[in-house]
């Protein structure tokens, strides 16, 4: 997972300093597709927890 600081550095380099996506990928050591994804989000997407296994099977764990 990438840090918010890395997101900021890459977005600054590409959007403000006009560095190409390919050059940014080389400079920061990430794939070009990752650069494209980073440019589409202002901050890294958060961790999304999957639905609990009990909820999948109709078990209510809140009252246990």
Question: What residues make up the domain containing 18?
Answer: 4-46
- pLDDT number for residue 58: 66
Angle at CA of residue 31, ends 7 and 18, nearest 5°: 55
What tens digit of pLDDT does each residue of 11-62 get?
Answer: 999 999 999 999 999 999 999 999 999 999 887 887 666 666 556 666 666 6
Q: What is the pTM of this model?
A: 0.67
Torsion of CA 5, 27, 38, 7, to 10 degrees: 0
How high is the pLDDT of residue 57? Answer: 62
CA of residue 20 relative to chain centroid, distance: 20
Q: What is the count of structural domains for the chain? A: 1
Residue 40 within a domain? yes
Q: Higher pLDDT residue, 2 or 28?
A: 28
Residue 58 domain-assigned (yes or no)? no
Query: Rounded to whole angstroms, what are the CA distances from 57 to 52, 53, 54, 60?
Result: 9, 7, 5, 9
Considering the domain boundaries, does residue 59 fall inside one? no
């Amino acid at each position: 997972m990438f840090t918010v600081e890395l997101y900021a550095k890459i977005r600054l380099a590409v959007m403000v300093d006009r560095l190409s996506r390919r050059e940014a990928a080389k400079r920061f050591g990430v794939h070009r597709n990752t650069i494209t994804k980073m440019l589409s989000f202002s901050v890294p997407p958060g961790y999304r927890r999957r639905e609990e296994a009990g909820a999948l099977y109709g078990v209510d764990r809140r009252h246990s």
